[in-house]
Chain A
Amino acid sequence: MKNYKKLKITTLFIILLSFINISSAANSTPFESTYEPMPQTNTLFRGANIYDGEGNEFLDTDLLIKDGKIIAIGKDLPASSEFTVVDAAGKWITPGIIDIHSHMGVYSAPGVTTSSDGNESTSPVTADVWAEHSIWVQDPQFALALKGGITSFHVLPGSANLIGGRGVTAKNVQRNTINSMKFPNAPHSLKMACGENPKRVYGNKSQAPSTRMGNIAGYRKSWIKAEAYLSRLDEYESKSEEAKELSYKPTRDLELETLAGVLRGEILIQNHCYRAEEMAMMIDIANEFDYKITAFHHAVEAYKVADLLAENNICAAMWADWGGFKHEAYDMVQANVAIVDQAKNGTGCAIVHSDDEIGIQHLNQEASKALSAGLRAGFKITKARAMKWITSNPAKAAGIFDQTGSLKVGKNADVVLWSKNPFSVYALAEKVYIDGAIAFDKEAGIEPSSDFDIGILNPNKNRIQE
C-alpha cells in the first residue's frame, strides 16, 4: 500500500517533471541552429580530378551527390535522369574549403566603428560573450569568401582578452538571421589569447594583465573559478530528482557556464598563441585543469614545438608566409605548416588560415605557398595531403569533421569545382555547392548579394554587378 502510493506520487512527479522539462527545454536552449539547406541539385560530376580532403587524389573520376549528401565517388558512375551532369573533365574538385579563423560578420566591411564588434575589450575575461551575437549577416565579405570556395567558417572573437568568448561555426549561405546560418550540431569554441595583445590592451589601462606572467595568472584564476562552479553544478545534477527539489540549483553564470562547458569537453578551445614557450605553458594549464586545447591559432612558432603539439593532439592554424608585423611574429618561417604537418611521423595537424578578409578568398593559394615551402625544406608532401590543411584538418578543429571536410560517402555535399588545379594562382572556383545546393555558379551568374550590396552605388544594380 505504502509502496503503491509512493509509486503513484513518483509517477505524478515524473509526469509533472517531464511537463516542466518540455516547457523549460523550449526556453533553455536559445540560439539553436535553424539552418535548412537551399534547394538541392542532384548532380553527377563527370571525369573530374579530385582531392578528397583526406590525402587522396583521384584522376578522371566521377562524383555523385544526391539529397545534399555525397553518395558515390568512382569511375564511370551510371547516369540517370534525376541527376544534372556537370562535365568536369580537366577540372578539379575539392571539398568545400573551411576557414578555422574568421572574423567575418564581427569585423564587417566597410570597417566602420559601428560594425567593429569583435573584441569585448572591457574586461580581460569575457567568457560570457558569444561571437554570433555580434555577427552582421549582411556583411558583403561572406559572398566574396564563397567565391574562393569557403563553404563553412568559424567566427571567433578577437584577441584583446585572455578569454574572449565563444566562437561559432556557420555555413556560408546568405540568410537574414545568424541562427539560420549556424552549422547544425557544431560545438561552440572558446577563444583564448596569449602574449602581446591582452597584456597591451589591459596594461595600457593600468590593469591586469600587463605582463605575460599576468596573462598566465589570469587564465588560471578563471579556471579555478570554473572548477568550483562545475563541482557545484555536478553535485546538484547528481542528486535525485527529489533531492533536487529540496535544494537550490546553482545560480546561472554565463561566464562560468562557458568555462564549465570547456571542462566538460563540450566547448573546444581555440587559442591565439604565437610563441613556442607560451604554447607549452598553455598545454601545462590545460593539463592542470584537465581540459583540451583543440588548436593554437597564428602559431608562428609552432615549428619550434611541433612534436609537442603532435603528442598532445593539438592542431596549429598558421599563415603561409605572414610574419614580422609584431615582435611575437618575428620568427616566421615559411615551412611552419609543413613542419607541423610532418611532426611525429606525419601525425601533426596543420591548418592554413589567413585571419584576413582577402586571404580567406585564396586559402587554396595560401596552402600552395605553404606546400612549396615544405618541399623546398626537403619534406615529401603531396598536394592531396596539403589539401587537408584547408579541408579536413580545419573541419576537425571545428568539431564538424563527421559532417563535412572531406569527400566521403554519406557526408554533406560541400563541394568546389575549380577551373584548374587549386594549387595554382590561376584556378578559380567555378561552382560551389553547400549541402548539395548551388551556392555559387560563375557560369550561370548565381552569386549571393548581401542586402548591403543592393542598390548602393547605382539604385538599379547590385554593388559589384557588371
Chain B
Amino acid sequence: MNYTKILFSAALIFNIYIIEAQSIVIKNAMIFDGINDNAFTGNILIEDGVIKKVSKSSIQGDTIIDAEGKIVTPGFIVSNTDIGIVEIGALSVTKDDQSSIYSIGFSIHDAFNPNSTRIPWNRSNGITSAITLPRDTSSPIGGLGSFFTLNGSLQIDSLPDMVMIGRIGGSSSSSRSEMLALTDDILSFASSLDVRDMKSNADINQIINDSPLADYLELQSRDVKALFRLIDDKLPLIIKANRATDILKLLEMKKKYNLNLIIMGAQEASLVAKQISSSNTPLIINPINNIPSSFDELASNINLSSRLEAEGIKLIFSSGGGQNSHLVRQGAGIAVANGMSYGGAIRALTSNVADSFNIARRGLIKPGNIADLVIWEADPLEPSSMPEKVFINGVDMDLTTRSTRLRDRYIKNLDKPNTYRD
C-alpha cells in the first residue's frame, strides 16, 4: 500500500517534470490567436511553458496532439471576479474580499486560495487566469486587485496589486457630486506625492499629518503608498460607473491626472461613445446585462457591445463574478448574436484584457508568449461546448472538478451503498 503510494507520488512528480521538459505540439488547430479577426489552421509548439513556434507548416515535438477541426484560443482571462478570495458568497467566513482597517491600499493578494473549488470549476470552462478584485472599500477610490493564473499551485503565480478600483454613482446616502469631489481630492493628493518625501514610514506619517484629507480619511501608510503607485506607476484604475454624466466626468479626471483609466459597468456608454473612443479608455462590460437595474443604467441595451465596437472602443468582457465568472463566454456569444464581430468578442476575453492591464506575454497565441491555451470541442462562444484541453503555463491541466466528481458519485456504481462509492 505504502509502496504503491510512494510509486504513485514519484510518478506524479516525474510526470510534471516530463510535461515541463518535453515539447508539445498542437497540430491542425483552427487558431484564433486573440488578435486577428479570422482563424487560421496551424500548429503550435509549446516548450518550457512557452509558445515557441506558431506555424502553418508541420512541427516536430515529443507529444503531438491532433486538434483537427478544433478551435484553439488563448486561455480566457476574467477581469472582474472574486475567484480565490471568496469560496461561498453567502458565507462570510469563506470571504476575504474586504477590510475594516485599510481602504485605498487594501490588497487581497495574500488571501488568494489556490485550493478554492472555484479554480478548477472556472478552469474547466476555459478560464486560465483572473484579475481578482476586492469589494468596494469605504473610499470612492481604493482597494487593490491582483492577477492570478488558475493553475491551482500553492506556489502562487501572480502579479500582485496590479490594479486599483473605485466607483462613482447614485447612492442612497449622498450626492454623486460629493463622490466626484472626493475622488478629485484624493487624486489631487496622490499627484502631490513625491518619492523624495516618502523614504520611511515616518515620512509618510508626516505627509498624512500634513494633509487634512488624508487625516479625515484616516489613511494608513500603505494607503498612501498605493496612491503614489497609482500616479507614478500609472497603475490601471478601474472605476465602476454607469451613468453617461459620470463617464464624462471620469474622462475629464483621466486627462487631468493622466490616469490609466478603465471604466467598468458603463451601461450608458453608448450615449457618450465618441468621447470614450477619443480618450482611448477601455471599458469592462457585461455584454449580457441589459437590465436597467438602477436609474444610472437606463440606457442598458443588449446591443451595447456592438455599438461600442463600432466606435472603436477597446472592450473587455466580464460576468457576474465568482462561480459564474466563466459565463463570460456565453455573454460573448450573446454579444456576437447581437451584432458584435466574432474576433472582437475573442479579443474582449483575451488580448484586450492583457493589453489594458499590462499583463505581459499572455492573452495572445504568438511565439514567446506563455502557453495559456484552450482546445475547444466546438465553438468556444457556444456555452454548450467545453474545453477538451486547457494549458496553463504550458502544463496540460486536469479538468476534473468537484462537480464532475459529485456527478459521477450519483450516476456510477449505483448498485453500491453510498459508503462504498468514490
Do these two chains really belong together in a complex? yes
Q: Which residues of A are in contact with B by a Cβ distance under 8 Å?
A: 109-113, 140-141, 144, 196, 303-304, 306, 321-327, 330-335, 339, 357-358, 361-362, 365, 368-369, 371-372, 376-378, 423-428, 456-457, 463-464
Complex alpha-carbon distance, A365 and B289, angstroms: 15
A118 to B: closest C-beta gap in Å: 15
- The distance from the CB of B91 to the nearest CB of chain A, in whole angstroms, is 6
Please, which residue of chain A has its CB at the minimum distance from the CB of B407?
A333
| Chain A residue nearest to B290 in the complex (CB) | A144
Known: A365-B330, A423-B384, A424-B382. 6 other contacts (CB 8 A): A324-B87, A325-B89, A362-B288, A427-B337, A463-B298, A464-B290
The residue that A334 contacts in the complex, of B299, B327, B403, with Cβ under 8 A, is: B403
Residues of B with C-beta under 8 A to A339 = 407, 410-411
Contacting B293 at CB < 8 Å: which of A111, A365, A377?
Answer: A111
* Most chain A CB within a 10 A radius of its CB, from B121, B386, B410: B410
Cβ–Cβ contact A425 & B337, under 8 A: yes
Determine if A109 and B323 form an interchain contact, defined as CB atoms under 8 angstroms apart.
Answer: no
Contacts of B301 in A (CB 8 A): 464
B90-134 Cβ-contact flags toward A at 8 Å (1 or 0): 110000000000000000000000000110010000000000000
CB within 8 Å for A368 and B383 given contacts A144-B291, A335-B411, A358-B288: yes
In the bound complex, do residue B385 and residue A372 qualify as a contact, i.e. CB atoms below 8 Å apart? yes
Which residue of chain B has its CB nearest to the CB of A379?
B411
What 0/1 readout, one digit per residue, does chain B (325-353) give for beta carbons within 8 Å of chain A? Answer: 00100100110111000000000000000
Among A112, A357, A377, point to the contact of B291 (Cβ < 8 A). A357
Interface residues of B in 280-331 (CB under 8 A from A): 288-295, 297-301, 322-324, 327, 330
Determine whether B10 belongs to the interface, using a CB cutoff of 8 Å to chain A: no
Q: Are B324 and A322 in contact (CB under 8 A)?
A: yes
Instruction: State which of B121, B294, B334, B407 has its C-beta within 8 Å of the C-beta of A335.
Output: B407
A417 to B151, CA, bound (A): 43
B403 contacts A109, CB within 8 Å?
no
Q: Is the CB of B88 within 8 A of A333?
A: no
How many residue pairs link A and B with beta carbons under 8 A? The number is 119
Which residues of chain B have C-beta atoms less than 8 A from A427's C-beta? 337
Q: How far is the CB of B136 from chain A (nearest CB, A)?
A: 17
| Contact indicator A325/B294 (Cβ below 8 Å) | no
Q: How far is the CB of B84 from chain A (nearest CB, A)?
A: 13
Is A326 a contact of B89 with CB atoms below 8 Å? yes
- Taken together as a complex, chains A and B put the C-alpha atoms of A361 and B291 apart, in Å, by 11
User: Could you tell me the distance between the alpha carbons of A14 and B76 in the complex, rounded to whole angstroms?
Assistant: 77
How far apart sit A109 and B337, CA to CA, in the bound complex (Å)? Answer: 24
Q: Are B403 and A333 in contact (CB under 8 A)?
A: yes
Query: A297: shortest Cβ distance to chain B, in Å?
Result: 17
Docked CA distance A376–B408 (Å): 11
CA distance A145 to B292 in the complex (A): 13
Q: Can you list 19 A-B contacts (CB < 8 A)?
A: A110-B295, A111-B294, A303-B407, A321-B327, A324-B87, A324-B323, A325-B322, A325-B323, A333-B407, A339-B407, A358-B289, A365-B330, A372-B386, A377-B411, A378-B411, A425-B334, A463-B298, A464-B299, A464-B300
Q: How far is the CB of A395 from chain B (nearest CB, A)?
A: 24
- Judge whether B200 is part of the interface by a CB distance below 8 angstroms: no
Q: How far is the CB of B26 from chain A (nearest CB, A)?
A: 22
Chain A residues with Cβ under 8 A from B294's Cβ?
110-112
| Residue pair A327, B88 in contact (C-beta under 8 Å) | yes
Q: Say which residue of B289, B327, B384, B404 sits within 8 Å of A333 (CB atoms).
A: B404
The CA of A456 and the CA of B410, in the complex, are separated in Å by 52
If A324-B322, A424-B382, A425-B383 touch, does A304 touch B337 (CB 8 Å cutoff)?
no
B381 interface residue per 8 A CB criterion: yes
A456-B407 in contact (CB<8A):
no
* Interface presence of B406 (CB below 8 A): yes
* Nearest CB in chain B to that of A325: its residue: B89
CA distance A205 to B10 in the complex (A): 55
Per-residue CB proximity of B131-151 to A under 8 Å, as 1/0?
A: 000000000000000000000
Task: Considering the complex, give the chain B residue whose CB is closest to the CB of A427.
Answer: B337
A303 to B87, CA, bound (A): 22
Beta-carbon nearest neighbor of A320 in chain B: B383
Contacts of A304 in B (CB 8 A): 410
Contacts of B87 in A (CB 8 A): 324
Given that A110-B295, A372-B386, A425-B381 are known contacts, is A331 also in contact with B90, CB under 8 Å in the complex?
no
Known: A331-B406, A372-B384, A372-B385. A196 touches B411 (CB 8 A): no
User: Separation in Å of the A191 CB from the closest CB of chain B?
Assistant: 20
Please report whether the interface of chain B is mostly helix, strand, loop or mixed according to DSSP.
loop
Please name all residues of chain A whose beta carbon is closer than 8 Å to the beta carbon of B88 when the two chains form the complex. Answer: 324-327, 330
Interface bits B383-398 vs A (CB < 8 Å: 1, else 0) = 1111000000000000
Q: Are B383 and A369 in contact (CB under 8 A)?
A: yes
Contact indicator B334/A323 (Cβ below 8 Å): no
Most buried by A among B118, B295, B334: B334
The reply to whether B90 and A428 form a contact with Cβ atoms under 8 Å apart is: no
User: Do A457 and B323 touch across chains, with their CB atoms under 8 A apart?
Assistant: no
Q: Of A141, A371, A428, which contacts B384 at CB under 8 A?
A: A371
CB of A407, distance to nearest CB on chain B (Å): 23
Q: Assuming the A-B contacts A304-B410, A365-B383, A372-B386, are A141 and B291 also in contact, with contact meaning beta carbons closer than 8 angstroms in the complex?
A: yes
- Cα of A110 to Cα of B330 in the assembled complex, Å: 24
What is the bound-complex CA distance between A327 and B89, given in angstroms? 9
Residues of B within 8 A of A368 (CB): 382-384
Point out the residues of chain A lying under 8 angstroms from B338, CB to CB: 428
Q: Chain A residues near B383 (CB, 8 Å)? A: 365, 368-369, 425
| Min distance, Cβ A316 to any Cβ of chain B, angstroms | 14
* A110-B295, A111-B293, A368-B384 known; A327+B90 contact, CB < 8 A: yes
Q: How far is the CA of A376 from the CA of B337 in the complex (A)?
A: 25
Q: Which B residues lie within 8 Å of A376 (CB)?
A: 386
Smallest beta-carbon distance A287→chain B, Å: 24
- Chain B positions within 8 Å of A325 at CB level: 88-90, 322-323
Q: Which residues of B contact A426 (CB under 8 A)?
A: 333, 336-337
Contacts of B410 in A (CB 8 A): 303-304, 306, 333, 339
Shortest C-beta distance, A372 to chain B (Å), equals 4
A109 & B91 in contact (Cβ 8 Å cutoff):
no
Contact B337 A110 (CB under 8 A): no
B289 to chain A: which residues have CB within 8 Å? 358
Q: Which residues of A contact B406 (CB under 8 A)?
A: 303, 331, 333
> In the complex the two chains form, what is the Cα distance from A40 to B75 in whole Å?
50
CA A464 to CA B404, docked complex, whole Å:
41
Complex Cα spacing A314 to B121, Å? 30
In the assembled complex, the Cα of A369 lies from the Cα of B333 at a distance in Å of 13
Given known contacts A335-B411, A372-B384, is B117 in contact with A324 (CB within 8 Å)? yes
Residues of B within 8 A of A327 (CB): 88, 90-91
- Complex CA distance for A372 and B386, rounded to whole angstroms: 9
Chain A residues near B385 (CB-CB < 8 A): 372
Min CB gap B25→A, angstroms: 27
Residue contact A334 to B407, C-beta cutoff 8 Å: yes
Residues of A within 8 A of B293 (CB): 109-111
Residue among A326, A339, A371, A372 with max Cβ neighbours from chain B (10 Å): A372
CA–CA, A410 and B108, complex, Å: 61
Smallest Cβ distance from B324 to chain A, in angstroms?
A: 7
List the B residue with the shortest CB-CB distance to A420. Answer: B337
Among the listed A110, A144, A196, A358, which residue makes an inter-chain contact with B90, where contact means beta carbons less than 8 Å apart? A196
The residue of chain B having its C-beta at the shortest distance from the C-beta of A370 within the complex is B384
Q: Is B297's CB under 8 angstroms from A110's CB? A: yes
Give B118's nearest chain A residue, CB to CB. Answer: A324
Cα(A365)–Cα(B329), bound, Å: 12
Indicate whether A110 sits within 8 Å of B323 (C-beta atoms), given known contacts A334-B407, A372-B384, A425-B337: no
In the assembly, what is the distance between CA of A421 and CA of B404, in Å?
28
B342 vs chain A, min Cβ distance (A): 10
